[in-house]
Amino acid sequence: PARKSKTSKDSSSELAVCHMLLAELEAHRCAWPFLTPVNHKAVPGYKKVIKRPMDFSTIKEKLTSNHYLNLETFIADINLVFDNCKKFNEDQSEIGKAGYNMKRFFNKRWTELLQ
């Protein structure tokens, strides 16, 4: 049978999964470059190159202030962190490798939890 629009239960359990996923990302040993906003005064070129900065602390703030209307907008911000990283850093740099590891970890975990 066709699924009715999302019930409030669905979205509150999805929200709980988002909190859990974010906590796991923050605890990952490769999370260090992504925990707080990149200091664009200390990182030459970052402000010009990266049009939509994003980091885990900003995502947590948005999550706790009910900014995310649905799961997709949360996942889009997580992926923005990794897309920015790939754009700005060499693949084989320490930060580039950390971003690749975090993206693989995230994809594995959210598909386990939500699909």
**Footprint of ligand D8Q (CB under 6 A):** 32-34, 38, 43, 85, 88-89, 95
| Nearest to ligand D8Q of 10, 26 (CB atom) | 26
> 1 or 45: whose CB is closer to ligand D8Q?
45
* Minimum gap (Å) between residue 26 Cβ and ligand D8Q: 14
Toward ligand D8Q, which CB reaches closer, 61 or 90?
90
| Residue with smaller CB distance to ligand D8Q, 42 or 69 | 42
* DSSP string for the chain: -PPPSPPHHHHHHHHHHHHHHHHHHHHSTT-GGGSS---TTTSTTHHHH-SS---HHHHHHHHHTT--SSHHHHHHHHHHHHHHHHHHS-TTSHHHHHHHHHHHHHHHHHHHHH-
The least CB distance from residue 10 to ligand D8Q, in Å, is 33
CB of residue 42 to ligand D8Q, shortest distance in Å: 7
